[in-house]
């Protein structure tokens, strides 16, 4: 019988050491920073009724039309793996009456999302996002706070060379007028648009503005700008946001073409891009969605959020950050069985203090144990044999600094505390 070798599905990947240490660093930093802004974690299922996503993200978006993992379960229900986080959080917000909590209600999530996309570099069918959603605060101060928090996170994890772009895409009051202006602008250019945009012309002409096809880029030169069509309320909101961002010393640029791919956005939208990834690849993106909670059957509730793409962040960190994998602080090289047992007890004591301790294999030579310690980039190696057991004095070596010496067994904890 021949054995079968399995591989991950196309577009999916294992995340392994040492990369995983970068992932953990980003996740830990996010939790720490979000908590200082009062954001609390929410965990929703990775699978929902398909309509949770099609209703919110929009029937005519690429995500819903082409990219969702949708199937019928054994109860004959149409279910989908979540392609993004916001829809599930809003579903949960309404279902669990989270609007009854003191306002504003602020949540974050972290976990895998799924889209059946053509795999390419840096894009996966199971990908990870960290996102936040803030409910029941319509003021531009909340927009500024959420953007500031994202900026803190990115600088907290050591990501450099990123830039913020912001835009306002208006509201139910002013967007129809802008839509009309776009329709008349594109009416004579319609035949020159890409096939997707020919359809978008009728369904969602705003999306022609962020189409990546070169022909559409050309055709939209001189197109009317949403920011020239904002109603009084939207304009004031957008101006106030800019004032607040300047006050917070967050640099940004205006990008009137950034409309974001999802249907549910209103007013503020923003993106963070990095030069190293190219302008098409946002590291993080978000916006305000003041109507979505109501559309999910909840009370009229303004909201704003963002999501950060973990794979892209990790890719960037690998370009710049020092990859510091953790290493053991103590390694016991042991000679003989009695020494091995003694070190097992010692190791337990040191681990209780939170140190990573490794004990060598008494059956292998001192040389090969030292080699193993070296490969693990251990800070201190202690050598323990019958002589050391009797005398209570241990030889130690600092592998990096080449320092060495002796320490009393009873003084070990004190010695290590002085070294770290």
Distance CA 137, CA 202 (A): 33
Closest contact distance (angstroms) between CB of 230 and Zn ion is 6
Are the CB atoms for 145 and 250 separated by under 8 Å? no
Which residues are CB-neighbours of 161 under 8 A, at least 6 positions away? 274, 275, 276
Closest contact distance (angstroms) between CB of 295 and Zn ion is 18
* Closest CB to Zn ion among residues 128, 270: 270
Closest contact distance (angstroms) between CB of 291 and Zn ion is 12
* Closest CB to Zn ion among residues 193, 245: 193
Nearest-5° angle of CA 302, CA 303, CA 309? Answer: 165
Closest contact distance (angstroms) between CB of 303 and Zn ion is 16
Closest contact distance (angstroms) between CB of 181 and Zn ion is 14
DSSP 8-state secondary structure symbol assigned to residue 172: T
Closest contact distance (angstroms) between CB of 215 and Zn ion is 7
* Closest CB to Zn ion among residues 131, 170: 170
* Closest CB to Zn ion among residues 201, 332: 201
The footprint of Zn ion (CB under 5 A) covers 170-171, 173-174, 194, 197, 211, 213, 216, 231, 234
* Closest CB to Zn ion among residues 216, 359: 216
Q: DSSP assignment of 108-145, as one string? A: EEEEEEE--PPPBTTB-SEEEEEEEEEES--SHHHHHH
Distance CA 314, CA 16 (A): 13
Distance CA 168, CA 268 (A): 4
Distances from the Cα of 150 to the Cαs of 33, 145, 162, 310, in angstroms? Answer: 9, 9, 11, 13
Of 271, 298, 313, 349, the C-alpha closest to 95 is 298
* Closest CB to Zn ion among residues 254, 407: 254
Which residues are CB-neighbours of 363 under 8 A, at least 6 positions away? none
């Amino acid at each position: 019988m021949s054995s079968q070798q399995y591989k991950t599905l196309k577009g999916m990947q294992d995340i392994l050491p040492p990369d995983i240490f970068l992932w953990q660093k980003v996740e830990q930093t996010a939790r720490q920073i979000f908590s200082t802004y009062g954001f609390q974690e929410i965990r929703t299922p990775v699978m929902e009724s398909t309509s949770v996503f099609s209703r919110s993200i929009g029937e005519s978006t690429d995500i819903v039309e082409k990219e969702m993992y949708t199937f019928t379960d054994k109860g004959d229900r149409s279910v989908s793996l979540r392609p993004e986080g916001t829809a599930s959080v809003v579903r949960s917000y309404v279902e669990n009456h989270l609007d009854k909590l003191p306002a504003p209600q602020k949540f974050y999530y972290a976990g895998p999302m799924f889209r059946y996309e053509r795999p390419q570099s840096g894009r996966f069918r199971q990908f990870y996002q960290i996102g936040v959603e803030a409910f029941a605060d319509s003021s531009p101060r909340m927009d500024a706070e959420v953007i500031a928090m994202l900026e803190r996170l990115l600088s907290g994890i050591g990501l450099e060379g990123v830039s913020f772009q912001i835009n306002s895409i208006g509201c139910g009051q002013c967007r129809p007028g802008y839509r009309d202006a776009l329709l008349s602008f594109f009416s004579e250019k319609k035949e020159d648009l890409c096939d997707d945009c020919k359809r978008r012309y009728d369904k969602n002409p705003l999306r022609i503005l962020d189409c990546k096809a070169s022909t559409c880029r050309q055709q939209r030169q001189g197109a009317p700008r949403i920011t020239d069509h904002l109603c009084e309320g939207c304009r004031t909101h957008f101006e106030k946001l800019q004032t607040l961002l300047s006050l917070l010393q967050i640099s940004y640029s205006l990008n009137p073409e950034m409309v974001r791919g999802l249907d549910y956005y209103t007013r503020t939208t923003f993106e963070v891009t990095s030069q190293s990834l190219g302008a098409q690849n946002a590291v993080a993106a978000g916006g305000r969605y003041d109507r979505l909670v109501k559309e999910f059957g909840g009370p009229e509730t303004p909201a704003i959020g963002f999501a950060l793409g973990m794979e892209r962040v990790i890719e960037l960190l690998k370009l710049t950050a020092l990859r510091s994998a953790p290493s053991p602080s103590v390694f016991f090289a042991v000679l003989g069985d009695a020494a091995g047992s003694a070190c097992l007890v010692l190791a337990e004591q040191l681990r209780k203090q939170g140190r990573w301790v490794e004990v060598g294999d008494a059956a292998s030579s001192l040389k090969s144990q030292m080699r193993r310690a070296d490969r693990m980039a251990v800070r201190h190696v202690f050598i323990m044999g019958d002589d050391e057991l009797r005398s209570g004095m241990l030889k130690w070596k600092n592998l990096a600094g080449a320092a060495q010496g002796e320490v009393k067994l009873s003084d070990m904890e004190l010695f290590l505390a002085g070294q770290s």
